[in-house]
């Protein structure tokens, strides 16, 4: 299945998972949950959807260890400053 065929459902699934998890999840856990929903999802697919959601201001992804990121659902009125902004 091609990436563009299910990019919107992946984004919706990510938002749904985040809402069920009180708005916070580790990326590896998120990927595991997405694999249960989508048979042929890759890390590249998930990362693309995360990037789109972050650009849209719906989530924030932050590095918490070398190979671990947290994915956080943005609350209304909440925003994160880009690197170099203050």
Task: Give how far Cα 46 sits from Cα of 34, 36, 61, 69, 84, Å.
Answer: 8, 13, 12, 13, 27
For 35-84, how does the pLDDT look when each residue is reduced to its tens digit (9 = 90+)?
A: 999 988 999 999 999 999 999 999 999 999 999 999 999 987 766 655 55
DSSP three-state, residue 24: strand
Kindly report the pTM of this predicted structure. Answer: 0.81
| Structure confidence at residue 86 as a pLDDT band (50, 70, 90) | very low
List the one residue out of 6, 84, 86, 77 whose CA is nearest residue 41. Answer: 6
CATH topology of domain 3-73: Arc Repressor Mutant, subunit A (1.10.10)
Encode pLDDT of 7-20 as tens digits: 458 999 999 999 99
End-to-end CA distance of the chain: 42
55 vs 5: which has the higher pLDDT:
55
Which sequence spans correspond to the domains of the chain? 3-73
């Amino acid at each position: 299945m091609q990436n563009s065929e299910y990019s919107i459902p992946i984004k919706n699934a990510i938002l749904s998972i985040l809402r069920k998890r009180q708005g916070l999840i580790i990326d590896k856990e998120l990927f595991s949950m997405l694999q249960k929903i989508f048979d042929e999802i890759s890390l590249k697919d998930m990362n693309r959807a995360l990037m789109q959601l972050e650009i849209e201001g719906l989530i924030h992804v932050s590095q918490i260890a070398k190979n671990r990121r947290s994915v956080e659902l943005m609350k209304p009125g909440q925003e994160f400053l880009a690197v170099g902004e203050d």
